[in-house]
């Protein structure tokens, strides 16, 4: 018996759900911790919901042990649906994109400062921000990716953001 969400009709409001997959837990709203949601649609068996209180759109569930998903194979795989075809080879393209994003942040705020990248992967965004004069730091659930980023001379903590003991107002910009 499948434990994936089950759609009985084509309308999102009429979804009948079975329990979440055993390796997943409910993904509470990161902004307001409200539990009430409205289902918007489904992608590859995953429900996309909207918080009834603040409007944040997110996945209904998340992996219980997300770090286990993001091993070395995730960054170079024959199955890009479950990761990147080759993150290492795409680094130049990623960095050009990230350079543009850094410029947009600087135009909006008019200065550099302290930047935290949540889910920093191998650190390409952090490298571009650092080259532009930002004081950068990253957090990444993948121990593999965090190690790769540290090997590139970056301050990156392996773990989840909520596990860090960060003082209030430590960063001028937080990238997700």
* pLDDT > 60? residue 3: no
Residue 15 lies in a domain: no
Residue 8 lies in a domain: no
Mean pLDDT of 52-78: 75
Give backbone dihedrals phi and psi of 106, rounded to 5 degrees, phi first.
-65, -40
Bridge partners, residue 135, by sequence: 114
Q: What is the pLDDT of residues 106-125, one digit of tens each?
A: 999 888 999 999 999 889 99
* pLDDT > 50? residue 56: yes
Number of domains making up the chain: 2
Element (DSSP H or E) covering residue 2: none
Element (DSSP H or E) covering residue 146: helix 143-151
pLDDT of residue 80: 53
Q: What is the pLDDT of residues 4-53, one digit of tens each?
A: 333 333 344 434 444 444 478 887 887 777 678 999 999 878 899 999 98
Domain check: are 112 and 153 in the same one?
Answer: yes
Domain check: are 57 and 129 in the same one?
Answer: no
* pLDDT > 90? residue 165: no
Residue 5 lies in a domain: no
Which one is predicted more confidently, 7 or 89?
89
Domain check: are 46 and 88 in the same one?
Answer: no
Give backbone dihedrals phi and psi of 174, rounded to 5 degrees, phi first.
-125, 120
Query: Which of 38-42, 76-80, 101-105, 124-128 shows the lowest per-residue confidence on average (mean pLDDT)?
Result: 76-80
Cα–Cα distance for residue pair 126/133, rounded to 1 Å: 11
Residue 95 lies in a domain: yes
CATH code assigned at 108: 3.40.50.150
Range of the domain at 109: 72-79+84-175
Q: What is the CA radius of gyration of the chain?
A: 18
**Residue after which a domain boundary falls, among 64, 99, 122:** 64
Average of per-residue pLDDT values in the chain: 79
Bridge partners, residue 105, by sequence: none
Model confidence at 161, pLDDT cuts 50, 70, 90, reads: confident
Domain check: are 40 and 112 in the same one?
Answer: no
**Residue after which a domain boundary falls, among 6, 35, 64:** 64
Domain check: are 58 and 119 in the same one?
Answer: no
Domain check: are 166 and 98 in the same one?
Answer: yes
Q: What is the pLDDT of residues 133-156, one digit of tens each?
A: 999 999 999 898 999 999 999 999
Cα–Cα distance for residue pair 33/27, rounded to 1 Å: 9
Domain check: are 89 and 170 in the same one?
Answer: yes
Residues 19-55 as b or e (16 or more Cβ within 10 Å = b): ebbeebeebebeeeeeeebebeebeeebbebbbeeee
């Amino acid at each position: 018996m499948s434990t994936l969400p089950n759609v009985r009709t084509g309308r999102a409001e009429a979804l009948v759900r079975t329990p979440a997959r055993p390796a997943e837990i409910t993904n509470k709203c990161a902004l307001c911790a409200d539990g009430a949601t409205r289902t918007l649609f489904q992608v590859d068996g995953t429900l996309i919901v909207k918080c009834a209180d603040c409007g944040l759109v997110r996945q209904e569930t998340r992996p219980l042990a997300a770090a286990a998903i993001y091993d070395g194979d995730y960054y170079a795989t024959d199955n890009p649906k479950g990761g990147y075809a080759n993150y290492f080879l795409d680094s130049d393209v990623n960095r050009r994109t990230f350079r543009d994003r850094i410029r947009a942040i600087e135009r909006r705020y008019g200065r550099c400062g302290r930047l935290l990248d949540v889910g920093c992967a191998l650190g390409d965004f952090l490298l571009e921000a650092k080259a532009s004069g930002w004081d950068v730091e990253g957090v990444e659930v993948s121990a593999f990716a965090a190690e790769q980023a540290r090997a590139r001379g970056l301050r990156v903590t392996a773990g989840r953001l909520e596990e860090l003991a960060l003082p209030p107002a430590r960063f001028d910009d937080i990238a997700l």
